[in-house]
Structure 1
Amino acid sequence: MKPTLTAMALALAATGATAQSQDPVTIEFAYPYSHLFDITYERILERFNADHPHITVEFRATYESYEDGTNTILREAVAGELPDVTMQGLNRQAILVERGIAKSLEPFIAGEEDFERDGYHQAMLDLGTFEGEVYGLPFSVSLPVGYYNMETMAQAGYDATNLPTTWDEVIAACEALQEAGVDNPVFWGWNITGNWFLQALMWSQDEPTMVGNDFRIDTPAGLTALETMHGIFRGCEMQNLEWDAALASFSAGDIGMLFWSTSAVGAVERNMGDFTLMTHEFPGLTEDGPMGLPAGGNSAMLVSDSEDPAELEAAWLWLTYITSGEGAADVARTTGYMPPNQAANEIILADFYEENPTKATAVRQIELLREWQAYPGDNGLAATQVIADYLEGIVIGDYDDMEVLQQEMAEEVQDLMPADG
């Protein structure tokens, strides 16, 4: 009879779950977005190797996106080729829990004498908690922000005191930049993973995109979200760029305003041309600003199918190492993500944000944090793509009547949702 995960974890606890075996052990680890996280994990791994020299962490090929990460794990589960630890988008954890691929971390937490749940921001920890049990420890959390090339903005009369605070003001800024000779004044991240910016416009009105199995684009808030996107795309004559091309173009100094995840601040700063970068709060539909914003980012999940207690111990050590203390602090130092661990934010990084103001914007917005919602059922990933296709249709000019688009999108996506009950 095969031992259960709980039994093995309790066995580890009985002998000291954090006690290090001196026998060499290798674990496999997979994560998304090489351009954002390679430098982060390289820095963490160097410290981890010094602290745990008997453990070898092998990095698998990176996932292209959160959707790719989930699809990859689903395939590997069928093939019996799972890594030990995987990083999954905060909105993609549920499907791995529902299918029994992700393992509950409760037995391991119970074996830790000094594990502090309160060390993690509760709203962030809640995102990885299902039916009262923790399955994912948050690693990096982001919120949408505005990026500004201040030399380009100055051409249209903007400085740090008068950056746009509403989407109408963004459109006005686009027009002023175009009059000043700027060909590409803005890129707005409609194509960021998981329909994140659509959800940002919904949460800006304090409205969820999903209620149970009901896709809420057919509401007045849904129409406002679509009309806001249409206004930005047309009013700013926004080019249809792939997300990586948009980031590269902004870093090169070719775009005046970029609305994107704070996650890319580190990558932009490492690659930017000779201009002054400033980040600022995400604009709202009114001067009062957004009422809420979706939490982006990813979580560490144990998906190992190993029965070796030493390998499970090593996987748990790595998982907790990257999500707490100095490991979590490295997220902020190398990217623009916020560490989910309060100790990292409040103690280790006490002076960091004052010295790095471009990375402080998301922290100022943390009270707006809301759930990055998943689409339920087996067709959740398909629904994500259908919505993205409709949004691209607005960008390229296929749709101008947002009420017609609203009805078509609502019907097609709702058909992909599970029937109630």
Structure 2
Amino acid sequence: MRELTRRATALAGAVGTGLVLAACGGSGSDGDGGAIELTISANAATGGKNTEEAEWIEEWVIPAFEAEQRDRGVEVDVSFEPSGVDDEQFKTRLALDLQAGAGPDILTLDGIWVGEFAQAGYIEPLPDTDWDGWSQIPEAVQQLAAFEDQLYGIPWGTDGRVLFYNKELFAEAGLPADWQPTSWAEITEAAEALAGLDGVTPIQLNAGTAMGEATTMQGLLPLLAGAGEEIHDGEEWTGASAGLTEALAFYEEIYGGGLGDPVLQEEAQGRDKSFERFAAGEIGILVEGDYFWRSVINPDGGTAPMDNRDEAVGWALIPAAEPGAGVGGQDFVSMSGGSVRVVNPASDHADVAYELLTFMNSAEAITAAVEGDARITARTDVNDQVLAGDPLLSFIAEEVLPLTTFRPPLAEYPQVSVLLQEATAAVAAGDSSPEEAAADYAEGLGEVAGGAG
């Protein structure tokens, strides 16, 4: 992080008049004798979408920050702009506001939007600061808020992908309860052992367009990282590379070898059905994120509750194709997503808005945000406290986040993702070889993103 923050100084001149802390003149007013007015925006609404976030902002953040500023002699009036629309609608609305030099002072962005908004000039790099919170955010997680080695905001929530497996089925197949594969071959070996059980699909690896982004995030991209590549290397998109072909070959091994259910990948509700089948003990291994553990098979309110979850479900890191073959020479890999909060560079009070930004990402504030609903945050100190009672979430926070990677925050990514989904669909259905599917992907890449370098 320190390196990223130092690099941000190069562009901080453009931000200097807005974000670099300025004197408040003692009065704490907006220049007319009144309180400084700030607005927070998020795609959240009390009683609706992301209600917990909205309640936290309205009931904790705003009164606590106003009180803190008042104690310092600064009168601040913070308001919240709720929303409860589709994420793309929310994104479009923010972009239009920022393009017009308007919009709220504090914005919540999906991390995948950061690069697109930065390229458009809607957001600007953070100034070089000594905010102590950076020491609590792993460097890998900081990448969620970074674009071209510049930090544009502060990540506050994230996740991670692992291999979930059913210990009871593993026991029946003669597999260890503490399974941790170190290569793709070891995943295949376990799946082949599970294939001997009646009524059990050995592995669910999301494929095809019906699964949507879940195919890309829970399937293709972790495998690509395990083959030592990322879909965008910071300069160009990855085309029909050796790594992509290797990842697609693993799909062929799973679905062509009868270790996965190719029909399930084509169904409109296939992902939900895979959840139900895992919960019912009909799938042995499933590649998913922590959402699956806390919101799907959670015995207390999950969408596919699994009463024996805590005893029957195990988890393991996703291995590279072979030890040391992953991105950066890693033995294990993962993919993560999450959100980022940024300051609007057009804010009339960007200095105080920046103070609000760091306040919202303080340990006290993040702890309050996840109270009663354990979730993985960007902060190690908060995770150590609030996740102590949940072994899976603690595992992801401690073991997965330090080695995770993120999707490229570029405008072309959604179209590239669809092309990747189509490639996995063709291989899973047996319609194309890995080489043919990779070539078709590369051809499509040329149309939507100018191709690979």
Residue 208 of structure 1 corresponds to: 230
| Count of residues in correspondence between the two structures | 401
Cα shift readout 1:340-392 (whole Å, capped 9, x = no counterpart):
2243345x45xx44x321113322134423453345xx534322222223323
Equivalent residue of 1:412, what SS? Answer: helix
Say whether the 8 Å CA contact 1:147–1:279 is kept in structure 2: yes
Alpha-carbon deviation of 1:143?
2.8
Residue 180 of structure 1 corresponds to: 197
Question: How far apart in 2 are the matches of 1:383 and 1:17?
Answer: 52
Residue 273 of structure 1 corresponds to: 306
Question: How far apart in 1 are the matches of 2:49 and 2:308?
Answer: 21
Among 371, 393, 399, the alignment partner of 2:426 is: 393
Give the alignment of 1:102-181 within 5 angstroms. Answer: 102-106=123-127, 115-130=132-147, 133-162=150-179, 164-181=181-198
Would you say 1:7 and 2:17 are equivalent positions?
A: yes
Among 20, 23, 27, the alignment partner of 2:40 is: 27
Q: Unmatched 5+ residue regions in structure 1?
A: none
- Root-mean-square deviation (CA, aligned residues, Å) is 4.2
Say whether the 8 Å CA contact 2:423–2:438 is kept in structure 1: no
Give the alignment of 1:46-85 within 5 angstroms. Answer: 46-52=59-65, 55-61=78-84, 63=86, 70=91, 73-74=94-95, 77=98, 82=103, 84-85=105-106
More off after superposition, 408-417 vs 157-166: 157-166
Say whether the 8 Å CA contact 1:31–1:63 is kept in structure 2: no
Say whether the 8 Å CA contact 2:154–2:342 is kept in structure 1: no
Question: How far apart in 2 are the matches of 1:249 and 1:84?
Answer: 45
Say whether the 8 Å CA contact 1:90–1:296 is kept in structure 2: no
Change (3 A) 1:25 1:247: farther
Change (3 A) 1:278 1:138: same
Residue 302 of structure 1 corresponds to: 342
Matched AA of 1:297 = G
Residue 372 of structure 1 corresponds to: 407
Alpha-carbon deviation of 1:413?
0.7
Percent identity at matched positions? 18
More off after superposition, 177-186 vs 268-277: 177-186
Change (3 A) 1:358 1:387: same
Cα shift readout 1:146-166 (whole Å, capped 9, x = no counterpart):
122333444433452346554
Question: How far apart in 1 are the matches of 2:440 and 2:294?
Answer: 39
Residue 395 of structure 2 corresponds to: 361
Residue 72 of structure 2 corresponds to: none
More off after superposition, 39-48 vs 120-129: 39-48
Say whether the 8 Å CA contact 1:151–1:275 is kept in structure 2: no
Q: Unmatched 5+ residue regions in structure 2?
A: 1-13, 67-76
Among 88, 113, 116, the alignment partner of 1:92 is: 113
TM-score normalised over the length of structure 2: 0.71
Cα shift readout 1:227-280 (whole Å, capped 9, x = no counterpart):
012222333232215545544554565543221123443223241221233222
In our comparison, the structure showing a higher alpha carbon Rg is 2
Change (3 A) 1:356 1:403: same
Among 225, 237, 241, the alignment partner of 2:260 is: 237
Cα shift readout 1:94-145 (whole Å, capped 9, x = no counterpart):
1110101224332xx75xx755533432333244234664312112233320
